[in-house]
Amino acid sequence: MTDSDADGVNPEQSAAAEPRLSIAAQYTKDQSFENPGAPGSLTKSAKAPSINVGIDVQVRRGAEPNYEVELKVSVQAKQEETTVFLAELLYGGVFQLFNIPAETLQPVLLIECPRLLFPFARRIIADMTRDGGYPPLMLDNIDFSQLYRQRMAQLQAEAEAAKQ
């Protein structure tokens, strides 16, 4: 006799069919830090530099059930027109997805996976700036859901413009 829950479904079978995401690997794929004005730029300035942060997410399908998700973080600090430092990080992860419905696959890959990678990328950026002689740059949290909605709206607008 097999165990079953109140609905008569084997718990092991129902658990196997539930959507699941697991992280198989995380890694730094590429990183660079440029400090073009050092050591002069390391002296205390009366004015904090302006910081410009860029985020990009790329996804590649691997062997079933693997997907590689890359989170690219670019940081540029400028004092007026002078570059204080540039930091770039390409941080990746291999995610295994099981039983994810097709209509939710893209949001999972472009929202949830980068959300899981971001704290590690944030720490690496903080370490890079600290090791470059500056206070650690603690990036604000990123709303990957909002970035995804903006990108989808942009793609839709481009598609409508192409029809005209």
Find where tokens 């980068």 sit: 114
Is 33 part of any domain?
A: yes
Per-residue buried b or exposed e for 64-94, using 16+ beta carbons within 10 Å of the residue's own CB: ebebbbbbbbbbbbeeeeeebbbbbbbbbbb
Q: Which residues pair with 86 in a beta bridge?
A: 34, 76
Is 93 part of any domain?
A: yes
Position 37 confidence tier, pLDDT thresholds 50, 70, 90 = confident
What confidence tens digit (pLDDT) does each residue in 107-162 have?
999 999 999 999 999 999 999 999 999 999 999 999 999 999 998 899 888 888 88
Are 76 and 23 within 8 A, CB to CB?
no
Is the full-model pTM beyond 0.75? Answer: yes
- The count of structural domains within the chain is 1
Q: Which CATH number is 38's domain given?
A: 3.10.420.10
* Structural domain that includes position 127: 19-163
Is 9 part of any domain?
A: no
Is 14 part of any domain?
A: no
At residue 7, the pLDDT reads 53
Is 10 part of any domain?
A: no
